[in-house]
């Protein structure tokens, strides 16, 4: 699992490009000044309306959007809907003086990332900054994990991940092909179906208990393909915690 873990550091970029949509220019300027002075990673792009915000969003790469709700011609929810049609995942925070359960509920139903009501004083900007950083961190973490699993899925290394119940929760095509199967044939199924009874007993009594005390085991095993033929394989099984394991097939004879 090193390939996954290697992708996880540095979740927040050196610069957080923030699109702030606010029809009150004084409030928008004050918010931008505070956010940029409080954290030098933040670079604010200001827009005075949702329509202008959409133009910026179409033309610029942004890491997060903060938008007011009560704006003329297009309110924050309508803006959110338009953004979500273009990008279902970019962090979007509704930062509004119109605080109501109805607005919050509607925002949540359209996949808003966060909802924050405006208050008096500079503390509100500190809270907003914290929400922005958390949202970007979460977005980056999800993106890195997606990249990692895409790399694992498309890679030549045969990889299967088995949960605490001994069932496959991830299998890449290379791993499944070793057994003459497709990944969907194995997801949710026990690893037992791929090994004869003697090997199952050996793994349960000798191999897997070792992983309670060490990070990995390597060795030879006999497996059974979908057509019933037996194959010899070189395996490495790594403990990833909570009773889950990653199985790497390194060679097949």
Residue 97, pLDDT score = 81
- Whole-angstrom CA distances from 56 to 19, 30, 180 are 8, 20, 50
Phi-psi region of 241 (alpha: psi -120 to 50; beta: other; left: phi over 0): left
Residue 9, pLDDT score = 46
Backbone angles phi, psi at 20, to 5 degrees: -110, 115
What predicted TM-score, i.e. pTM, was given to this entire model?
Answer: 0.68
pLDDT tens for the 253 residues of the chain, in order = 444 444 344 445 578 999 999 999 999 999 999 999 999 999 999 999 999 999 999 999 999 999 999 999 999 999 999 999 999 999 999 998 876 778 888 999 999 999 998 888 889 999 999 999 999 999 988 888 888 888 889 999 999 999 999 999 999 999 999 999 999 999 999 999 999 999 999 999 999 999 988 999 999 999 999 999 999 999 999 999 888 999 999 988 8
Residue 229, C-beta contacts closer than 8 angstroms, at least 6 positions apart: none
d(CA 81, CA 28): 22
d(CA 52, CA 28): 14
Q: Domains in the chain and their CATH numbers? A: 2-152 (3.40.50.2300), 155-252 (3.30.450.20)
Pairing state between β 64-67 and 114-117? unpaired
pLDDT tens digits, 78-116: 999 999 999 999 999 999 887 677 888 899 999 999 999
Residue 5, pLDDT score = 41
Residue 129, pLDDT score = 96
Q: What angle do CA 35, 127, 28 make, to 5 degrees?
A: 40
3-state SS track over the chain? CHHHHCCCCCCCCCCEEEEEECCCHHHHHHHHHHHHHHCCCEEEEEECCHHHHHHHHHHCCCCEEEECCCCCCCCHHHHHHHHHHHCCCCCEEEEECCCCHHHHHHHHHCCCCEEEECCCCCHHHHHHHHHHHHHHHHHHHHHHHHHHHHHHHHCCCEEEEECCCCEEEEECHHHHHHCCCCHHHHECCEHHHHCCHHHHHHHHHHHHHHCCCCCEEEEEEEEECCCCCEEEEEEEEEEEECCEEEEEEEEEC
Residue 13, pLDDT score = 57
Q: Which two tokens stand for residue 188?
A: 């949710």
Backbone angles phi, psi at 142, to 5 degrees: -65, -40
């Amino acid at each position: 699992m090193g390939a996954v873990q290697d992708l996880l550091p540095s979740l927040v970029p050196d610069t957080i490009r923030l699109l702030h949509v606010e029809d009150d220019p004084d409030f928008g300027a004050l918010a931008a000044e505070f956010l940029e002075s409080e954290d030098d990673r933040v670079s604010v792009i200001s827009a005075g309306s949702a329509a202008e915000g959409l133009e910026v969003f179409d033309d610029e790469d942004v890491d997060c959007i903060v938008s007011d709700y009560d704006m003329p011609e297009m309110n924050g929810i309508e803006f959110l809907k338009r953004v979500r049609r273009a990008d279902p995942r970019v962090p979007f925070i509704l930062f509004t003086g119109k605080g109501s359960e109805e607005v919050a509920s509607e925002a949540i139903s359209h996949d808003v990332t966060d909802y924050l009501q405006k208050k008096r004083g500079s503390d509100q900007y500190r809270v907003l900054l914290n929400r922005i950083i958390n949202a970007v961190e979460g977005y980056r973490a999800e993106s890195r994990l997606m990249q990692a699993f895409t790399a694992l899925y498309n890679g030549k290394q045969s990889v299967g991940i088995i949960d605490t119940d001994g069932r496959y929760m991830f299998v890449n095509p290379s791993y499944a092909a070793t057994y003459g199967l497709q990944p969907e044939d194995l997801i949710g199924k026990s690893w037992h179906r791929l090994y004869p009874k003697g090997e199952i007993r050996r793994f349960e009594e000798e191999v897997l208990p070792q992983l309670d005390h060490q990070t990995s085991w390597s060795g030879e095993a006999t497996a059974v393909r979908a057509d019933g033929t037996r194959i010899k394989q070189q395996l490495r099984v790594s403990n990833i915690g909570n009773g889950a394991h990653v199985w790497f097939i390194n060679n097949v004879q």
